[in-house]
Amino acid sequence: MLRKFYPYRFELLFFSQILILFGSLFFPLGFYEVFLSPIIFILNLLASVILFLENKTKMWMVITLLIVAIFCFGIDVFKISFDDSFTFLHLGTFFLFYILLTVELVGQVWSAKRVGKNVILGLISGYISLGLLGFFICMIIEMATPGSFSTILESSLAGAPPVEKLIYYSYITLMTIGYGEIVPLTTMARKASIFIGLMGQIYSVILTAIIVGKYISQRTVLK
């Protein structure tokens, strides 16, 4: 059944990622971060299963991570109390998922023989995945050492979940914009920020250049 969606794998993944990034514009922030955001992340996992259909081992790894993510969401919804290890399990699940997803996207885009709409969407999805991977790195650091990023701890103590702020920080760092209103304060946070910035630059310079080169060669052959 999922096989028929395989040609549209990049589109499905791309639109689920757009929901993650901009879904909070259409709902109250507290409601979105507590209830809708986890559901959209799970939908992103579900859309990604299709991407791995050609690799059964990785597909079952993603399905396992999906089951763990659903379990964690259920625990949150029913307010079952666990220690911090549960939170790290939740974050670690998505961290591992976005590593797998980013590597798979880069591999499929890199090996594409023809550059069309699907490959372009795959290229964009890969970049978005890097930002989400960076977000989970920052989230794990902040949970392990509260106050690693300026203004995040204060917001959390005031009852505002840090998800939106850290997603914002990850992408601002990935794109090397850096407005400066959120600052890494610990050594680990600074190293993570360097890593996120490097990922964005390497992806933009190398992979994007290769795809553009393939597209130009393809157009030349067609002429």
* Cα–Cα distance for residue pair 12/50, rounded to 1 Å: 9
pLDDT value of position 18: 92
Contact 90, 96 (CB under 8 A): no
CA distances to 28, 37, 40, 92, 186 from 24, in Å: 7, 8, 11, 23, 29
- With a cut of 70, say whether residue 22 has pLDDT above it: yes
Query: pLDDT tier at 133 (50, 70, 90 boundaries)?
Result: very high
- With a cut of 70, say whether residue 69 has pLDDT above it: yes
- With a cut of 90, say whether residue 72 has pLDDT above it: no
| More confident of the two residues 13 and 220 | 13
3-state secondary structure of 184: strand
What is the pTM for the complete model shown? 0.86
| More confident of the two residues 79 and 212 | 212
- With a cut of 70, say whether residue 15 has pLDDT above it: yes
Structure tokens at 108: 């499929």
Structure tokens at 94: 């998505």
